[in-house]
Amino acid sequence: MISPGSSYVSLGSSFAAGPGIKPQLDKAASRSGRNYPHLVAEALDLDLTDVTYSGATTANILSEPQGDAPAQVDAVGPDTELVTVTVGGNDLDYIGIFLRGSTMNTLARPVGLFSKRLGNRIMARVSYLREQAEYDAVADRLVEIVNRIRASAPRSRILLVDYLTVAGPTTRPRLDVPLNEEQLPSVVMMAEGLAQAFANAAARSGAELVAASAASLDHGVGSAEPWTTGFGFRPGGGVGYHPNEAGMAAVADLVIQQLRTAD
C-alpha cells in the first residue's frame, strides 16, 4: 500500500476530473473536489496534485497545453509515488459523439405521423464505428504516457484507470438514451474498443490496470444504480454521459482495492 503522505499525481480527462460534481475546484478544468483522485487521496491520506482537465486528450497529457494549464505529465516529479491516468476517450470523440447523436435525435423528435417517419429515418442514418487503427493509436499513446511517467518518477506506481460504462447491457435505445437500435450498439462498441486499448497498453507497458469499465457493466444509464448520468445536465450530479458521485466513489474504491491487492 502507498504510505500516508505519499505524493500522488492524477492525470486525465473529464472521467477523472468530474464535471458538474460539487464542489467544482477549477471551473476552467471542470474539476471536482469529489472526483475519484480526491476520494482516493482522502481515504489513504495522500498528498494529491490533481491536474485532470475536462476535454483533455492524450496530447494534453504529453505535450500540449490546455487553456492556461501546461501538459499534465509535467506535474510528475522524482518524488511522485502514485500516478493514475484516465484519458483517451476524447482522442476518439467517444462521449462527444454520444452527446451530439443524442442532441440530434432529441431535436428531431417526431411530432405527428409524418414527422415520426422522418425522425426515425434521421435516427437510422448514423452509426459511430471506428477503425482498429484508431484504438491502437490510443494504446500507443497510453504506453508513451506510462514511459514518460517512469522517466520522471522511476519508483512510482502507475495505474491506468479506464472509463466507467455509460451504456450497459440493460440500457435501452430510445427509452434510456435518445439513440436508436443502430446507434447505441455502435457506441457500446466504441466503449469496448477503448477498454481494450487500456488493457493492451497496460500489458505492453507493465502499468497496473483498473478496469472500471468491466466493474460498472451493471451500472450503466437506465440501470437500478447508475454510476453515470443520462443525457442532459444534472445540477450537482455531473453532466450528460459522465460519472456521477456514486460512480466516482466506485472508481475510488477500485483504485484503493488495486493498491491493496497488488501489495
Residue-by-residue pLDDT tens, the chain, 263 positions: 799 999 999 999 999 999 999 999 999 999 999 999 999 999 999 999 999 999 999 999 999 999 999 999 999 999 999 999 999 999 999 998 888 888 888 877 654 433 444 444 444 445 577 899 999 999 999 999 999 999 999 999 999 999 999 999 999 999 999 988 888 998 999 999 999 999 999 999 999 999 999 999 999 999 999 999 999 654 444 589 999 999 999 999 999 999 998 65
Contact assessment for residue 148 and residue 227, using Cβ atoms and an 8 Å cutoff: no
pTM: 0.91
Task: Name the grid cell of 105.
Answer: 435525435
- Going by C-alpha positions, the residue among 83, 56, 82 that lies closest to residue 70 is 56
Bridge-based pairing state of the strands 31-32 and 24-26: antiparallel
SS3 51: coil
